Structures are given as structure tokens and as C-alpha cells.
Structure 1
Amino acid sequence: MRKNKLWLAFCVAGILGHAECFAQRIEFQEPIKLNDSINSDAEELLPFLSEGGGRLYFTRAFHEDNVGGRYAGSDIWTSNYENGSWQAPHNELVPWNNKENNAVIGERQQGDVVYLLNAYKGKKGISFSKNVNGKWSKPETLTIPGLKTDGFVGFYVSPTYDFVLISMNKNGGYGQEDLYVSLKDQSGDWQEPISLGGTINTAGFEISPFLSDDQKYLYFSSDGHDGYGNADIFVSERLYGSWTVWSKPKNLGPIINTSYFDGYFSIYGDTTSFFASNREEGYLDIYTSRVKLNNKDVLQDSVQRIIDETKRLLSDLKKDDEMIQVSSSVLEFLSFDFNSSELDKKLENSLDKVLKRIEKDSIFKLNLISYSGDSQDRSINYTLSIDRVQNVVGYLTQSGMDESKLDIEIVENPKRLEKARSGVEIRAQVIDE
């Protein structure tokens, strides 16, 4: 009876997690094109809402009032929201704008530092400017090793300044521009960018990345995933806290996307989104769409009942005299062909056995530990480890396995595995009698 109670508690907790996730799904209202103060006869793109929502930064190209004139580059323009509308914008941002291509790509949480895409002092890439006594300082360069800045490149710097999302065309990528992330090491230095992997990146281009406030949902534009036209906006959920394991990208649908170019999407506080589109043909214009949470009210009562039931079950468990004991053991080891991440029939049969064991035994979670030593190139091994474990996760979930019961770990030391060789080790967490 005790085992059944605990198993039910884990099941209820899993249902609750999915209910909360479902309650947070969002719907977009019909987009509204911003007024003529923002959209002109030139091209407007890269909208970015400041901390607090009172100021909109955007980039304007092919405009005669830009610092370098109509054809010398693009400027950052800014507009304040007053009396229910966006006011006439200006580009009198002397430290930021020059004859190159300029854009705001992030802002620190406190609003006192703005991150910029530009080429200052001959160094193309990322810069930052500080607000000191109400004035913006001259941009300073932010150095990221392995950053490829020739060709088309785009960035998003997080408000917490602990990661940078990058769009660039780099050797060894999946196609044209791919999405990467650069993280800080323990010393606070930026690390070389790593690819977000084959779930996100395609043979086409992936550009204009933006991450939600909770760091769970990635928005980007692509012509490599199935869409409606030239480029569509997609969203993908970040899984297991990993930067390389993502859900299948979901198209935001025909309300947002058209047969033309749609991109440079950003969302704020789950209430307002901005993006750029040339759906009226010609140059890009900036649009906004209000956001509403879907089914939140409908699920409120059900969620509360689940919470109450979970509390009751946990209370019953506490009354039990026995201590809860959980053990971990190797359930299966998947040995892949050399330099391959494909699941052959033998591996699929092994995974089918795992699924049967889950039904039979009191297994409430699986640990998938992936290691590759197939190549002398560390980055290739890492990518292969990711691809292998993604295929395993895909097979298990498509067969009915709950994602919340999967933990993912990528290791670079084979000693972490019982078999001490390349493959994916599946460990089962089991409730002891």
C-alpha cells in the first residue's frame, strides 16, 4: 500500500506539472501595425521594449535621417509611450549610432546597461553602454571567443547577463545561420558558443533569437522548418534545463505568420509581443500583438483539486513509519554504431524492454547519461552525445513516456558510466520496498 501511495503522489505531481504548463499556453490576438510615428517609408525592424515598458527601441534602415544617410547603415531609434500611444521617435543617441549597422540586443534588469550590435573602434560584434548620471557612456566591446562576425550575425543578451544567444553562419553548422549560446564560466568569462543542436537548427537559416523571462521558451525566425512563407516565427521549449535539448519547434500560426517574412519577435511579461514583417510588401514594419493565457480560468478548479489531493497523499506518507528508500541501478546500456546517432532495430528493441520494465516495476524516473568518445574532436563528441540522447528521448516520449520522468546528463568522462564506453546508459530510480 505504501508503494502505491508514493507512486500515486509522483503521478499526481507529474499531472500537476503538465497542468501548470498547459495553463500557461498562450494565444496571440490579431497583430496591429504600429502608428506612422514608428513605421515610415523606410524599414523598421528589431523592436525591443525597455525595462518597465515605457520606451521602445528599434532599428531603422534606408532612412535619410540616419547618421550615415539613407544607404550607409541602420540607426537605433527610440520612442516613448505616453498618453496611450507611441510618440515621435528620434535617433539622437550619439554614443550608439554611427555609419554602421546599429541595434539594441538586450538590456540589464536594472535598465542601466544596454547591449548593442555594432562595430565600434573597428571591432564588430557586441558592445555595451552604461547609463551614468542620465547619460549613456561610449560603447565598450564584449569579447566572446569563437564568435564569427562576418556575414549576417544576430544576438540576444539576457537581462541577467549570464548567457548570450547568437545567430551566425559558422563552419561545421547545420546550414546557413544557426543558433548558438555562449555561457559564462566560473571565473565570469564568456565561453565559446555551443550549438543549440539539430532540433532547432536546419539546413536553412535560424535568426533573431529571443528567450522568455522564465528562460524556458525560445522564439526565433526560420525558413528551414515547415511554415507559411519566406520566414516564420517559431517557439521551442527548453527541456531539462539544458541548452542543447529542445522540444520540436512550433509555428506560431497564421495569426502571426504570413507568406512573407516574419521575424525579430520579442515578448514581455506574457502580455505583449512585438515583431517585424513585410506582409504589406516592400520594407519591414513593426507590429504588436496582445497575448492572453489560454484555459487558465478553466483549469483553475482542477489544478486546485490536484494540489489538495497531492497534499493529502504527502500527509499520509509522513504518517508512515518506514523511511522512503530510493535506489538507482543500470537498466540498459545502448551501444551505437561508430559515429552514428541513429536508432537501429536492436536499439529500439532495447528501449521497448525498458518501457515494459517501467510498466512492471516501481520505476518513477529514468536517468539518461550520454557519452561519446568516437572522435578526437571534443565538440564532435559532444554533439554526437546530444544527438544520441535526443533520439532516445524522442523514441521514449513517442511511445508514451512522460518527459517529466526523464533526467538528461551529458558527460565527457567515460568513468561516469558503468560500461565506461560510448553510448547512452539508462539508469532507473526505483522505490524500495
Structure 2
Amino acid sequence: MRIFLIFFLFTVHVCHAQQEVRWACKVIETDETYRGKWFSPEHVLGVPNVYPGFAGRESGYAWIAGYNEKGYIEYDTYVKVGFCDPIIAKQIVVVESCNPGAITSITVIEASGNTSRVYNKKAETCAEKSRVLSIPLKRIKTPVVALLITTSGKGSKGWNYIDAIGVASTEEPVDVSINLSKDVALIGNSTPLGDEINTKYTESYPIISSDGEILYFARLGDPKNIGNPEKTDIWYSNRTADGKWSHAQNIGKPLNNEGHNFVSSMTPDVNTLLIANTYKPDGSSLGDGVSVTNHTSSGWELPTQVNLKEFENLNQYTSYFLAADGKTMLMGIQMKDSYGDLDLYVSFRNADKSWTKPMNLGRTVNTFQSEATPFLASDGKTLYFGSTGHMGYGGYDIFMSKRLDDTWKNWSKPINLGPKINTDAGELGFSVPASGDVAYTYAWRNEVYHSDIYVVALSPSVKPEPVTIISGRVLDAKTGKPLGAKIEYDILATGVNTGIANSNPTTGSYKIVLPGGNTYGYRAQVPGYFSVNENITIDAKSTYTEIKVDLLLVPIESGQKVELKNVFFHQSTPNLIETSYPELDRMVEVLKTNPTVRIELDGHTDNQGDAALNLALSEKRVETVKAYLVSKGIDNKRITTRAFGGTKPIAPNNTEENRKKNRRVEIIIL
């Protein structure tokens, strides 16, 4: 007889608030020889993979008792089951997702040492295609610490699939239902994209740009693939003026080679791609891992490997995602602290461009099965991912969860995105533009076994929170020439950097995505230039918005003028507001980097009130700025000041918004 021991963990709240349910969490003993990816005993762990009402079909995410690599063997199996968090159980629940009837006995072992056989029956083929086997427990006095379960393949025909094993604290039926959103009916039907993208070959892993204008995806089997048609290549399509997609093109070398190639994510500026696997210096495939590539004036550069501290992956599969801020990376990997198979982790970019040790997202998101293909929406909070460990329709389903705080450990209960997105065929890969109105995914939904890419409209409750896209060009303020620049944006009140981006070195185009609920400062930086800093306040309840702003960089040359847009004073005083310090600190760094540069600080006010008082106020304010710079190590002799009061407005003084523009400090490079 074969023996395995399973521990139970987790409380599931069901219809009756008093009922507690424990699902298997760990296989600690079994003489099953098969330990493959599919059908192994580990697949009884956690909640059922497939809702019993949608079961009755074969699935690789359930355990087949007695299965081995040569196929099903009809012999008896003997199972010992234990509990991590014992309860006084009133019933045992076994979810047999397909061809039930192989279980022949179950014996309960209590903490007191008492044992009692509570189920005894010959194996037989049941009329039901699937079932939830519920066994009442009448005489249990102490917590149930173990179960003995026997199965047999001799009396039933075909393979018996056991999806989950649990115990409950009451006799009421256990609610094994899918956690759906209240407005799941409002989710649109999944619609395949046209022939410009979907072909007779296999399309997968769609990644949509933040503005919804570029779609990257992987294609397998196309003779136009680089090196090996039987490996995936990166393809892309652009949205045309009429809203349709252009005929997809192979992105070519150096991103495609003889190995598997696909885009894991792209930054909002579409100038940086996170690429699966790694590359040798000659462009050939190096192996597993993840790489990053940037768009240069001559095209995409050879991807370089991303190195994460103390990284390990104990699984043959991986998935990665670079968030919109360019500083947060999510991944589906298996480490020593994983709860089951693949878990979702997060890593953060350090100032030296290294990445922190991956941190597990915790038990709300991760299960005893697999979580993979994370996609963090532009709001930085809404996470979409594939899972076999949360209850669904079979195989991998797509789920949504919201990040509740900055620990990255607290998440809302994952919501299954419903039958218009998820099927028993399994779904992986989910990509949402910044607008949040639709999603792109891929699935096997045709008679020929290959996947296509689909688009689906999202319902309000599963959309990400609204964001604002700011885009434009980075230009030389003197010549109008486009510049390749590093873009940074901060929380203005604290100066804490919240994201990075790059502008296209050929066109100067850039794009950043800002979540609501903060006032931001943002700027472009290029050596040899003063950056002009912009700021914007985005209300937490704002709708999705797109704003165009060109960023003008002032060359460090005599006679050039720079406005300090993020330097602020308390009303009618020369006292700096603390939000001014980050911009002044950046100015200090520029002056230290260019030690021969001398500047003049010009102070201006609006025209409200007494002109003499305004002149005096503008003089005191520039002296305050000068004093701050000197306190940070800038030579007093390099800075002169001039005051103009309200005599040189740059806007009419007819509104408060315009008067705010006139209250300013400017730098003149001498």
C-alpha cells in the first residue's frame, strides 16, 4: 500500500460565519514514485483548483492516485493525512474533480490518540462526473490530527482525480464557490484580434503599451522566426490611425535569436523592455534569467542580464514583470520560502542599479500551488496574475488583487475574473493599458491546438485605479534639438523618487504614468544642461487623463535662463517651504559638477499690494535661496542676486493661477 501524509492549514470563511475549513497544505510522506509537474500528490494541496460544478474533466492540476510515467496502475493506495492547525472537525471533505469513486476508506486520528474508521466502501465507478465527498464526523471529541485514506483503482474505471482534501468544523455543506466580482456580468466577451496578429501559428504573451498604441507578443512556429521557428520570437504591431492593428512584424535581432524570446514588460516610455532569458555577447542564447534592453539612436541594444541579490529559482519555469515606475520588479519563481510551487515575489531597484533580494508577496496572493505571469497595472496597486491555487474553472485562471499598503505583504482577497476570461483550457498572461478599460490575454479556444491573442472589456470593479499619462518631448531649450534624457519623478512634498524613465534619443519622446492622490515633481536630466522641473497635482478621484508637456533643458551656457518651478515660499514671507529643498539640492549638484559656472538669482513677485514691499520681498527671497545654496557648499562668490518685485510679469496678473506664475525665482547663467 502507498502512504502519504498531508498537513492542513488556512481558514476559509464560508456562508456560515462559524464554520472553519482547513485545506491540505503539505505532503510530508508518500511512497508515490511519480513527482512530475502534473497529476502528482502535491496537487491536492490548498483549495480546489476547479469549482466542482465545472469539473468532470481531466486536469493536470489534480492528483491521480497510483499514476506513474507509464500510465495508470490499478492497485490499492494507502494515505496518511495530518493537520498543521488541528480543529475539532465535524466533517471531512474530499473534492474528486473527475471520475470519482476510488476512495475506499478514511480513518480519523485524534489528538487524544483515539482512532475511528468513518468511511468504508468498495471502489466503484460513480454516475457523477465529479463530486464533493462529504463524510460527517459524529464522535470526535479532540482535534483531528491525522487521517488514513485508502484508494483503489480496481473497482473504478479510468483515472480518479482528487483535487483537494479538507475538514470543516460544522456539518453544514462547505461553500466551495469561486470568488467573483459583483459586476462580473459586465465583463465583455473575449474577442480574438484580427489576422494582422493572430495566425495559424501560436501567439502568446501579449504586452500592451501604457497608451495602448503598441502590442508586443510572442509567436511560435512561424518560418520567419529567427534561428529556430520552433522557439518563440518577439513580434509587434502598431495601432493605426483608424484604430486597427498593423500587420505584425518580427522585431529581429538582437532581441530574437535561436532561443525562446518574448517581452515580459515594457516601461511607459516604450524605450525599455524586460526580456525573458539571457544573451551572450555575440547575441546568442545564454540561458534562463531575465534581461533588459534600451532603445538607442541605432535601435534596440543587446539585452543585458538583470542581477538580483540572493536570487534562486528552484523551478523550471519563471515569469517577470517590470512595473511602470521602472523601479519595481515582480516575478513568478520558486524559492526556499515559497508556499508551494511557483510563488509571486517583488524586488526593488537600488540606487546603484542592483536589485534587492526577492520578497514573497505572502499567503493572500500565494498558495500551495502555482502563481505566475504577474502584471502590475499602472496605478502600482492592481495586480493581475495566473494561478492554479485559487479556485477557478480549471488549470490556470486569471485573478485580480489590490495592494493595500507599502509593505507589499498585504493584499485584498484575489478575485477570479470570471468565465468570459477564464476557461478550463487555462489562461496565462494578462496586460492592461493605463486607461484600464480593456485587457489583452491569450488562450487556446479554437479547434486547432494553438493559442491566439484576445481583447476583453473590463468591468469597473476589476479595473485599475485611474492614472494620468504625461508625455511629450525632451528638447534643447536653445536649439529645439531632441535629447535622450533620464526622466525622474518624485513626491513633491517629500522629494522621494517614485519612478524613472528615458526619452527616445532620436525623437526626444517620453512618457510617464502618475497615479492619483499626490503632487509630483518631474524633470529630465542630461549632462551639460540645467533641467527645468515641472509639477502637477493629481487628485485621488481623477479620471484617466493624458497630458502633453515638452521638457526643455537649458544648456549650461552664458546668458541662458532657468526658472525654478518647484521652489516655493510661505505667503508674503521669504521663508522657503520644505518642498523646495529637493529642487535646490539638485541645483547644488549641478553647480558642484560644473565648478566654474557662476549664476545670478533673480526674484519676482506678482503686482498685488505695495510695489516697494514687493521689491523688498523679492530681494529677501533670492537672498534666502542664495543662503541655502551656500549652506550646501557653493562658494558665495559664484552667486549674485537681483530683485525685480512685480515689474517683470510673465503672465497677466488677472487670475490667481497667473499671479502664481509671476511669483518666481530665475537663474541667469553668467
TM range (shorter): 0.5 to 0.7
Which of 256, 267, 270 pairs up with 1:111?
A: 270
Indicate conservation of the 8 Å contact 2:207/2:266, yes or no.
no
Q: Give the 5 Å matches for 1:71-220.
A: 71=230, 73-82=231-240, 83-121=242-280, 122=286, 124-133=288-297, 135-148=299-312, 151-185=316-350, 187-220=352-385
Indicate conservation of the 8 Å contact 2:343/2:367, yes or no.
yes
Give the match for residue 280 of structure 1: 446
Indicate conservation of the 8 Å contact 1:44/1:284, yes or no.
yes
Offset from partner CA, 1:168-209 (integer Å, 9 cap, x none)? 122331111111111134554311101111111112111110
Give the match for residue 36 of structure 1: 195
**Structure 2 counterpart of 1:100, one-letter code:** G
Q: Tell me the C-alpha RMSD between the 2 structures.
A: 2.7
Give the match for residue 255 of structure 1: 420
Q: Tell me the secondary structure at the aligned position of residue 253 of structure 1.
A: coil
CA distance in 2, matches of 1:181, 1:211: 11
Q: Tell me the secondary structure at the aligned position of residue 100 of structure 1.
A: coil
Give the match for residue 437 of structure 2: 271
CA distance in 2, matches of 1:140, 1:189: 13
**Structure 2 counterpart of 1:68, one-letter code:** G
Indicate conservation of the 8 Å contact 2:263/2:276, yes or no.
yes
Give the match for residue 395 of structure 2: 230
Offset from partner CA, 1:371-425 (integer Å, 9 cap, x none)? xxxxxxxxxxxxxxxxxxxxxxxxxxxxxxxxxxxxxxxxxxxxxxxxxxxxxxx
**Structure 2 counterpart of 1:158, one-letter code:** A
Aligned-residue sequence identity (percent) comes to 33
Indicate conservation of the 8 Å contact 1:182/1:193, yes or no.
yes
Would the alpha carbon gap of residues 51 and 294 (structure 1) be closer, same or farther in structure 2, given more than 3 Å must change? closer
Indicate conservation of the 8 Å contact 1:259/1:279, yes or no.
no
**Structure 1 counterpart of 2:304, one-letter code:** E
**Structure 2 counterpart of 1:157, one-letter code:** L
More helix by share: 1
Gaps in structure 1 of 5+ consecutive residues: 1-21, 297-303, 305-433
Indicate conservation of the 8 Å contact 1:23/1:293, yes or no.
no
Indicate conservation of the 8 Å contact 1:261/1:279, yes or no.
no
Deviation at 1:120, TM superposition (A): 0.3
**Structure 2 counterpart of 1:280, one-letter code:** N
Paired residues, what number?
276
Q: Give the 5 Å matches for 1:8-47.
A: 27-47=186-206
Deviation at 1:236, TM superposition (A): 0.8
**Structure 2 counterpart of 1:241, one-letter code:** D
**Structure 2 counterpart of 1:34, one-letter code:** L
Indicate conservation of the 8 Å contact 1:62/1:70, yes or no.
yes
Gaps in structure 2 of 5+ consecutive residues: 1-180, 281-285, 464-540, 542-670
Deviation at 1:98, TM superposition (A): 0.7
Indicate conservation of the 8 Å contact 2:228/2:259, yes or no.
no
Deviation at 1:277, TM superposition (A): 0.9
Deviation at 1:228, TM superposition (A): 0.8
Offset from partner CA, 1:118-164 (integer Å, 9 cap, x none)? 22012532212221125111112221123335611100011211110
Deviation at 1:213, TM superposition (A): 1.0
**Structure 2 counterpart of 1:132, one-letter code:** T
Q: Give the 5 Å matches for 1:362-373.
A: none
CA distance in 1, matches of 2:462, 2:321: 30
Offset from partner CA, 1:199-225 (integer Å, 9 cap, x none)? 111121111100111111110011111
Indicate conservation of the 8 Å contact 1:23/1:295, yes or no.
no
TM-score (norm 2): 0.39
CA distance in 2, matches of 1:93, 1:50: 19
Give the match for residue 321 of structure 1: none
